[in-house]
């Protein structure tokens, strides 16, 4: 199946909500929200963390494209905050998931996930 990024994103709660997290974090930054994020963004982010953790506990979902996608998009949303330690943690987690999958070549979504991970 030739699955697109949007189709893949729409097929799981954590990959979809991680996209919403990017939008919410961007909105907060454009509105100069203080502290670094609004209550709504914090709630979205916590739900994404919760859903990712559920996937990481499930052996079948631990290294699934949608879980990797969700972590990548969560990491992208965190760039706004500029907390290097958080970014490194997400980066390490993605690296581990890719290693468990065998290599970038084994990722799906028509190579889009591998391309975005290497960017």
pLDDT digits (tens, 9 = 90+) for 9-59: 888 889 999 999 999 998 998 998 877 889 999 999 999 999 999 999 998
DSSP assignment of 69-93: HHHHHHHHHHTTTT-HHHHHHHHHH
Q: What is the mean pLDDT of residues 94-116?
A: 88
Of 56, 59, 80, 57, residue with least CA distance to 68: 56
Both tokens of residue 69?
Answer: 């996608």
Q: Residue 52: helix, strand or coil by DSSP?
A: helix
- CA 73 to centroid of chain Cα atoms: 3
Q: What is the mean pLDDT of residues 92-114?
A: 88
Cα(92)–Cα(9) distance, integer angstroms: 22
């Amino acid at each position: 199946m030739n699955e697109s990024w949007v189709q893949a994103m729409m097929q799981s709660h954590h990959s979809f909500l991680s996209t919403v997290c990017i939008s919410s974090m961007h909105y907060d930054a454009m509105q100069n929200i203080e502290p670094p994020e609004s209550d709504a963004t914090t709630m979205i982010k916590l739900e994404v963390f919760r859903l990712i953790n559920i996937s990481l506990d499930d052996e079948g979902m631990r290294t699934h494209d949608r879980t990797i996608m969700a972590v990548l998009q969560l990491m992208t949303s965190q760039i706004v905050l500029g907390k290097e330690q958080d970014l490194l943690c997400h980066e390490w987690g993605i690296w581990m998931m890719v290693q468990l999958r065998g290599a970038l070549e084994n990722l799906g979504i028509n190579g889009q996930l591998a391309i975005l991970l290497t960017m």
